Structure 1
Amino acid sequence: MNKINYKFLIVALLISLSASFLNAQTKLASIFKNHVVLQRNAEVAIWGKDTPNKNIQIKAGWGIDAKTKTNSNGDWKTTIKTTKAGGPYTIEIIGSKKIVLNDVLLGEVWLCGGQSNMAMKLEGNIGQHIEGSNKEILNSTNSNIRFFTVSKTVSNVPLDNCKGLWEISNPKTAAEFSAVGYFFGKMIQENLGVPVGLISSNVGGTPVQAWTSKDVLDADFPEFKKIPKTTGETKKPSVLFNGMINPLIPFTIKGAIWYQGEGNRWNPEQYSRLFPAMITDWRTKWNQGDFPFYFVQLAPYGNKNLEGWVGIQQAQLKTMLTVPNTGMAVINDIGYKTRIHPPKKREVGERLALWALKKDYNIEGITHSGPVFKSIKIENDKAFISFNEAPLGLASFGKPLTNFEIAGDDGVFHLAEAKIVEKGKILQVWSNKVSNPKNVRYGWTSYIEGSLFNTAGLPASAFSTESWEEIFKK
């Protein structure tokens, strides 16, 4: 052999030895870092890499051990049983080398996803405040609230790892974390008295298809196979699922909260199918059953009626009513006409938390939802509307009942008057322009100041008494 071949062999040998050395390092999935919160009272997934066919031993500080073995590719995955809330603990992972995770807590883990209204930090945006944020940041020190923010990552293929660190809540870390996520987690932690871990994975200006896996889109939404070259990187189908959700799977979570929809407003009918498909997609891939998924209905916004805005609100309402174990926080009383990012983020996070506290943590005596349209009855020239989720009746809290419309058989809606009757149980709607009413709708413009509530102070969603087919035909 000549010298060139010898050099080639030496370089190849060095590369091979280097690869073997790297593969020999015991590795954990990137979500497992110091200060991590693991879901209490569960079989928690834990996984990583090592050399092929290597025995892996896990020793948890709460007295539970687990064993597994890497496959021929060096991948390993197992579960370890967690106990009641508590800590701090250590976890030892022993393979080719030993890894020690310190300051591990057992508690409640929630994923916080969506676009800019979920991404908006507690400190606010440039020129956009969040009400009460400075005092909240000042008082945010709490070792029982932990944050993990997934770094913005776009990928055309599913990734195994993401960038991020678990951080303990204090003025510096809380200021930079999702405001909605923070207020949600704080209310859960205060009421349960257990550690709470919050994973923030969101990117502003993104549509739901970017957060949905390719296999689901290919199977049910062929329109996404051909995407215009002008589409922004973060808006392309599946790229954020690949880069910012797939690396988290199957990290054990309690559930997810979600704030998104603005990015899909040009096609509400499609969103009415696409959003439920994303929820089902995540649940299937996590393999945790129908874990709770709570989301925020779009807030009122716009100096003029924005195309598709109400349609997205209706798609979200339909999702809540048709997809199991979902819930919707309505915020049409706290919108902001000139800002797509409303400043009242505390109310948003806390309304999401009410769903979890009632439905998942079984706290009795609280109301978790605003009124939801149930049925319509026509008597002469008036419509009488009844609602679910208003056990003690309806209220307007001194506001005039506005943004109601009524239509007859011609389908033409006219502004209507409304009042609460029958000791608060029924809403009566009428217009002098409609003698034989058929349908009623409420909040049918992108900006309103919500006026219909239940006695717990939670607002009713925009609604129409028409069928879903009629609503999305328009």
Structure 2
Amino acid sequence: MKKILIFITLIICASSYSQIKLPRLISDGMILQRDIPVKIWGWSSPNEKVEISFNKKKFQTMSSQDGNWTIVLPAQKAGGPYEMILSASNTIALKDILFGDVWLCSGQSNMELPMERVKDKYKDSIAKADNPNIRQFLVPDQYDFAKENVDLSSGEWRSVNPQNILNFSAVAYFFASEIYAKYKIPIGLINSALGGSPAECWISAEAVKKFPEYDAEYQKFKDGKLGTQIEERDRKINTDWYKSVNQQDEGLKNHWSKPDLEDSDWATMNIPGYWADNALGNTNGAVWFRKEVDLSNLKATNAKLILGRIVDADSVYVNGNFVGTTSYMYPPRKYAFDPKFLKEGKNEIAIRVINNTGRGGFVADKPYQLIIDNDSIDLKGSWKYKLGTKMLPLPPQTFIRWKPVGLYNSMIAPLKNYGIKGVLWYQGESSTKKPAEYAALMETLINNWRTEWKQGSFPFLFVQLTNFMDPKTEPGESNWAALRQQQKNILAVPNTGMAVTIDIGEWNDIHPLNKYDVGKRLALQARKVAYGEKNIVSSGPLFKEMEQKGNQLILSFTDVGGGLIAKNNAVLRGFEIAEKDGKFVWANAVIEGNKIKVWSDAVAQPFKVRYAWADNPIEANLFNKEDLPASPFEATLH
């Protein structure tokens, strides 16, 4: 009986690939890496002959006992389109294949963020987007702790056109556009990024052993049981909390969205703002807002509400008609609706806001408007509000997908046979809780990926954290600044490059809209690191070394380009110094040639210097003449 079972199992295993099967990446429209031998791989029946017909030549191999096979094609120049025929017990024809440069684009939400989110800022770019030589493969967001996956569950190659571009990573698209404009070669983008992910998610099980804390955490989740238990618990807690909100909310029970509601007894507050700063205090639950808008000469063909950002979730009504909802705090609220919902005279806008923890309300310095055709009505100012129901804060969720190794196994391991030019990396926001370890984590990640790809030290280009959160008026500690220093330290790893973005963030948005300059600055790094342009200025000033002269520190920099400048001919700002006690004070700073002299009358023996050392260093204005910002830094005399 046992022998029969084994025989049946072998038959099932062999028949699972009775026909040749290809990984998702090897498909119509793919862009393959030029100028290097190219792996084409897949699965078939055991010990089966597999043949590829390509470019008037044939290439053959035999599959292994477990049905795996790989054929290596000789290096090809950039170009195409080509066709490829794969034959075994069945035949697969692949079409529209290009050879060019393939960039793996990874990290967290600022890499993941699609053109859809920035479509209002880049309307012309989207309208004109039509380039079949730039293509993206979007890797599905999945994780697996048990094993390294050999394939992806979904995904296909898509070329740039006004429809497809909305799903492209904005940073990656603008990078690709710059590189294509310069070199006129096809650019493939493998978009494998996930919002909120810390660096340790993207490292293999073997490599993460260098970090005992993360290895121990990975081991806890390896068999999947603990993760399943936690997710089921969190799902129940989350479901019960929102069910209670909906059951208890007086606004839902009594239809506070209807336009003729008697709301004369409602309190008022200014929007944007947080109700914690008003009579409600720091309350969680559901809060309703209402505002009356008077319209005349109404002949609308299009209508839209722009409601900035709301913490955390919202549902919006116009004259009692539901027009849109968003379930979490980060996306901008833009709700197009049928203009028939509007009427001459008084119109009522109602917003139900659910806040599950922290301070709920409307984020400042964002647009709040009713747009009717080409006219806009400012909705900022006084709104009526009333508490629908008060809740205890929702307990924090455990994000299993962010645990070590899981994303590597599911979103990186299936890619490593696919030849690439290099990596674009935008991540770090989720690693700011423990910045001191970041450079070591990233050096491990870079070496891990280079080892697995077996392509040598391919270029690894990354984005330094931008400016974010409230500015501070006095020197102080900052985890975001500390992580930027760690990112600068990563440049010690060979064949890396860093795009500095300290000047293009938004204080109130962890997802700043300016993705064009991020992509452009990554492209400058690529032109130097990956494409070997020797005379290009690819970076703003990077601190090199310093010496002490009396009560002054003399700072030297690399990447000064055409020269150091204080942007807009202003006084140089953002420098602070300290003696050995580490008590930093603001410092005077002047440019002298390609060096900077820094001092303070309050510091007799300067020992340490910092520049742009804050979450949001709004006064940091050191640039080179090529208009590239200096990297923030901290340095100590040796």
Q: 1:335 aligns with which of 505, 510, 531?
A: 505
TM (norm. structure 2) is 0.68
Taking the aligned partners of 1:304 and 1:158, their CA distance within structure 2 comes to: 43
Please tell me whether the aligned partners of residues 561 and 626 of structure 2 are also in contact (alpha carbons under 8 angstroms). no
Q: What does residue 458 of structure 1 align with?
A: 628
The one-letter code matched in structure 2 to 1:303 is: D
CA positional deviation for 1:391: 3.7
Please tell me whether the aligned partners of residues 203 and 408 of structure 2 are also in contact (alpha carbons under 8 angstroms). yes
Q: What does residue 99 of structure 2 align with?
A: 106
SS for the counterpart of 1:214 is: coil
1:76 equivalent in alignment to 2:69: yes
Q: What does residue 518 of structure 2 align with?
A: 348
Please tell me whether the aligned partners of residues 265 and 307 of structure 1 are also in contact (alpha carbons under 8 angstroms). no
Q: Output aligned runs, 1:46-445, within 5 Å.
A: 46-61=40-55, 63-124=56-117, 129=118, 132-156=121-145, 157-162=147-152, 163-218=154-209, 220-227=210-217, 231-303=398-470, 307-320=478-491, 322-398=492-568, 399-422=570-593, 425-445=594-614
Contiguous gaps of at least 5 residues in structure 2: 221-229, 231-396
Taking the aligned partners of 1:358 and 1:323, their CA distance within structure 2 comes to: 15
Taking the aligned partners of 2:412 and 2:590, their CA distance within structure 1 comes to: 46
Taking the aligned partners of 2:500 and 2:414, their CA distance within structure 1 comes to: 31
Q: 1:446 aligns with which of 604, 615, 618?
A: 615
Taking the aligned partners of 2:505 and 2:180, their CA distance within structure 1 comes to: 27
Q: What does residue 336 of structure 2 align with?
A: none
Please tell me whether the aligned partners of residues 40 and 82 of structure 1 are also in contact (alpha carbons under 8 angstroms). yes
Taking the aligned partners of 1:418 and 1:363, their CA distance within structure 2 comes to: 33
SS for the counterpart of 2:462 is: strand
Taking the aligned partners of 1:283 and 1:105, their CA distance within structure 2 comes to: 24
Taking the aligned partners of 1:396 and 1:172, their CA distance within structure 2 comes to: 42
Taking the aligned partners of 1:442 and 1:257, their CA distance within structure 2 comes to: 26
SS for the counterpart of 2:560 is: coil
Higher strand share: 2
Please tell me whether the aligned partners of residues 15 and 45 of structure 2 are also in contact (alpha carbons under 8 angstroms). no
SS for the counterpart of 1:406 is: strand
The one-letter code matched in structure 1 to 2:554 is: F
Deviation sequence 1:390-447 (CA, Å, 0-9, x none): 143211222432221011233221111111113xx11111111112222211011110
Deviation sequence 1:261-294 (CA, Å, 0-9, x none): 1111111112121111011101101111110000
SS for the counterpart of 2:116 is: coil
The one-letter code matched in structure 2 to 1:377 is: E
Taking the aligned partners of 1:185 and 1:446, their CA distance within structure 2 comes to: 29
SS for the counterpart of 1:123 is: helix
Please tell me whether the aligned partners of residues 497 and 529 of structure 2 are also in contact (alpha carbons under 8 angstroms). no
Query: In the superposition, relative to structure 1, how do residues 234 and 309 fare at CA in structure 2: closer, same or farther (>3 Å)?
Result: same
Q: What does residue 27 of structure 2 align with?
A: 33
Taking the aligned partners of 2:628 and 2:490, their CA distance within structure 1 comes to: 19
Taking the aligned partners of 1:457 and 1:363, their CA distance within structure 2 comes to: 19
CA positional deviation for 1:20: 4.5
Taking the aligned partners of 2:41 and 2:80, their CA distance within structure 1 comes to: 21
Taking the aligned partners of 1:314 and 1:131, their CA distance within structure 2 comes to: 33
Query: In the superposition, relative to structure 1, how do residues 276 and 64 fare at CA in structure 2: closer, same or farther (>3 Å)?
Result: farther
Please tell me whether the aligned partners of residues 119 and 126 of structure 2 are also in contact (alpha carbons under 8 angstroms). no
Taking the aligned partners of 2:17 and 2:617, their CA distance within structure 1 comes to: 58
* RMSD (CA atoms): 2.2
The one-letter code matched in structure 1 to 2:493 is: V
Taking the aligned partners of 2:636 and 2:84, their CA distance within structure 1 comes to: 56
Please tell me whether the aligned partners of residues 14 and 46 of structure 2 are also in contact (alpha carbons under 8 angstroms). no
Taking the aligned partners of 1:358 and 1:275, their CA distance within structure 2 comes to: 21
Please tell me whether Structure 1 or Structure 2 has the larger radius of gyration of its CA atoms: 2
Please tell me whether the aligned partners of residues 272 and 318 of structure 1 are also in contact (alpha carbons under 8 angstroms). yes
Taking the aligned partners of 2:506 and 2:604, their CA distance within structure 1 comes to: 36
CA positional deviation for 1:191: 0.6
Taking the aligned partners of 1:347 and 1:432, their CA distance within structure 2 comes to: 38
Q: What does residue 347 of structure 2 align with?
A: none
CA positional deviation for 1:21: 4.1
Taking the aligned partners of 1:381 and 1:176, their CA distance within structure 2 comes to: 54
CA positional deviation for 1:360: 2.0
The one-letter code matched in structure 2 to 1:444 is: W
Identity %: 37
CA positional deviation for 1:16: 7.4
Please tell me whether the aligned partners of residues 131 and 345 of structure 1 are also in contact (alpha carbons under 8 angstroms). no
Number of residue pairs aligned between Structure 1 and Structure 2: 451
Please tell me whether the aligned partners of residues 47 and 67 of structure 2 are also in contact (alpha carbons under 8 angstroms). yes
Contiguous gaps of at least 5 residues in structure 1: none
Taking the aligned partners of 1:397 and 1:12, their CA distance within structure 2 comes to: 74
Taking the aligned partners of 2:119 and 2:441, their CA distance within structure 1 comes to: 31
Taking the aligned partners of 2:562 and 2:121, their CA distance within structure 1 comes to: 31
Taking the aligned partners of 1:341 and 1:274, their CA distance within structure 2 comes to: 23
SS for the counterpart of 2:163 is: helix
